[in-house]
């Protein structure tokens, strides 16, 4: 039997990975960033084991293409998620570290 803390960590990781690969490439602009943040957070929050999720898109990293919008890049995302399984919780994050958008477990309890 898998321990609850291990499962909570797995749930956090799988949700961050899915979020990243599902949303990167989405057409976006500074005017639509807030609504995209909300859509991402609401979609992830629907999934099992999610206690909370917050999404921030760094609009300063956006570069407009000739059609007037950008594409969401992984480096623009800053995400915090908390999952729980049984009595165990896991907090994890996705954020750009200057070289690459990395996912980290920040706490397991």
Domain around 71? 4-108
pLDDT of the chain along its 109 residues, tens only? 889 999 999 999 999 999 999 999 999 999 999 999 999 999 999 999 999 999 999 999 999 999 999 999 999 999 999 999 999 999 999 999 999 999 999 999 9
CATH classification of the domain holding 45: 3.30.1300.20
The pLDDT of residue 36: 98
The pLDDT of residue 91: 98
CA dihedral (34, 56, 18, 61) positive or negative: positive
Work out how many domains the chain is built from and give that number: 1
Measured at the alpha carbon of residue 61, what is the angle toward residues 57 and 66, in degrees to the nearest 5?
110
Alpha-carbon span 44 to 3, nearest angstrom: 23
pTM: 0.93
For the chain, give the percent of residues with pLDDT over 90: 97
């Amino acid at each position: 039997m898998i321990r609850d803390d291990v499962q909570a960590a797995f749930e956090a990781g799988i949700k961050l990975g899915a979020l990243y690969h599902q949303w990167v490439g989405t057409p976006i602009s500074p005017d639509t960033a807030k609504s995209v943040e909300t859509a991402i957070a609401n979609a992830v929050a629907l999934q099992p084991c999610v206690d909370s999720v917050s999404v921030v898109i760094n609009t300063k990293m956006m570069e407009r293409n000739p059609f007037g919008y950008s594409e969401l890049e992984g480096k623009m995302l800053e995400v915090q998620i908390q999952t729980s399984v049984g009595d165990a919780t896991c907090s994890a994050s996705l954020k750009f570290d200057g070289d690459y958008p990395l996912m980290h477990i920040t706490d397991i309890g």
